[in-house]
Structure 1
Amino acid sequence: MVEFDKRSSKLNIIFFISALRNGGAERVLQVLSSEFSKKHSVEVVYFEEDKKHYEFLVKTTHLNIYHNTTILSKFKKFFTIRNFIKSKKPDLIISFMDQTNINLIISTMF
C-alpha cells in the first residue's frame, strides 16, 4: 500500500517498459504517464534502444541492459535496475509487458 502525506500528495511514479515501439502497451503507457504527470512526478524507463513512435510529455530514461546474454550480464541487469530504483526512491512502480515484470520482480527481491 502506498503511503504519503495528504498535504503533499504528489507521488513519485516510475513506469517501466522494455522498449518504446509503436504497440498498444506503449500507447497506453503514453496516455497514462501524461495523465499521471498532471498531479504527480512521472518518469518512463525503457530498456531497449529503439525509435520512439509516441511523443512523451514526461521524462524518459534509457537503461541499456540488453547488451548481451551471458550469465554475468543477466545479474548485472538486475543490479542496474535495482540501483536505479533505489536512487529514485519511487512511491509507485508500474511495469508493462511480461519480461519487464519478471525483471522488476527479480531486481527488487534481493
Structure 2
Amino acid sequence: MGTKLRVEIKRTKPNEAEIEVYGETYTLLVPLAQSLISLNYVEFAGFDVPHPLEEKGILYVRVREGDPVDAVFEAINNLKREYGELKSSLLEELARLKQEK
C-alpha cells in the first residue's frame, strides 16, 4: 500500500492557488501539471519540490477564469480517464501476446 496523501490548499489570489501535497512528488505532480496546462483556461501550472529528501511538492495553478481548484479536479479526472484507457490497452496487448506463445 502506498503513502497516504495529505493536501493543503493555499490561495494567493482568487484565480491562483498553491496546493501543498505531502506524501508524493514528481510521480504525481509531473502528469498533473501537464494535464492542467492542456486546459485552455489554465494560464500557468507548475510545481516545486522544495527539498529532495522530503515527500512534499507544491503545485502552482493560475487560471484565466473560474476557480483554480476546480481546474485541478478537472485535470485529475482527465488523468483518471487517460490512465484507465492506457490500462485497458496494455491489458489487451498483454493478453494478445500471451495467446501468441
Asked if these proteins are the same fold (TM beyond 0.5), I'd say no
- Greater fraction of residues in strand: 2
What TM-score do the two structures reach when normalised by structure 1? 0.27
Q: Higher Cα Rg: structure 1 or 2?
A: 2
What TM-score do the two structures reach when normalised by structure 2? 0.29
- Greater fraction of residues in helix: 2
Q: Which has the higher contact order (CA 8 A, sep 6+)?
A: 1
